[in-house]
Amino acid sequence: MKRSGGCTNTSGPISNPEVQPVTVVAALVEGSNKGGGATTIFLARRAGPGRHAGLWELPGGKLEPGETPEAAVVREIREELGVNLILETSPWCYEIQIEGRAFSFIVFPSRFANQDFKLAAHDQWGYFHAGELDGLDLAPLDGPALRDWIARRVGRRATQKE
């Protein structure tokens, strides 16, 4: 299923189509171990106070009125991490309900222009292997994108071994 805005995939529909979802954007940035090791994913831990304090997440935030998703994710990364973002491929899109609220979650596979992070909304950051994600307290909105990332990683490794 293709969605407007260049999204290449979507999750299930919002159960109440009359509810206008909150649009949230995030950057999905991969890294790898030196020496060609397994691919990792960048996550940042949300600083407190707030209900998501201490949760690991793909960095990003809410779309502002009149802003495109692409501009929003670049702005959010600059504000939250202090670095520029380079968008790489079409975004992944998800329609999600959490605690009765509807979200349109747009995830942009990207890379950082540099790694001189100046954390504003987070207190830690790191690159994690797929197997390490189960041990982290993850933000609920990120679950479908992280599961898709893991599935793509496993599929890519299986193809490379053949």
| Per-residue pLDDT at 158 | 41
Mean per-residue pLDDT, 17-33: 85
Check residues 93 and 33 and name the one with the higher pLDDT.
93
Among 24, 61, 32, residue whose Cα is nearest residue 44? 61
Q: Residue 126: pLDDT above 80?
A: yes
Q: Residue 20: pLDDT above 60?
A: yes
Check residues 73 and 33 and name the one with the higher pLDDT.
73
State the pLDDT confidence band at 155, using cuts at 50, 70 and 90: low
Q: Where do we find the tokens 């990683």?
A: 153
* pTM for this entry: 0.84
Q: Residue 8: pLDDT above 80?
A: no
Biggest CA pair distance of the chain: 51
* Cα separation, 14 vs 110, whole angstroms: 27
Mean of per-residue pLDDT scores for the chain: 85
Q: Residue 34: pLDDT above 90?
A: no
User: Could you give the C-alpha distances from 13 to 19, 66, 75, 86, 137, in angstroms and in order?
Assistant: 11, 24, 28, 29, 26
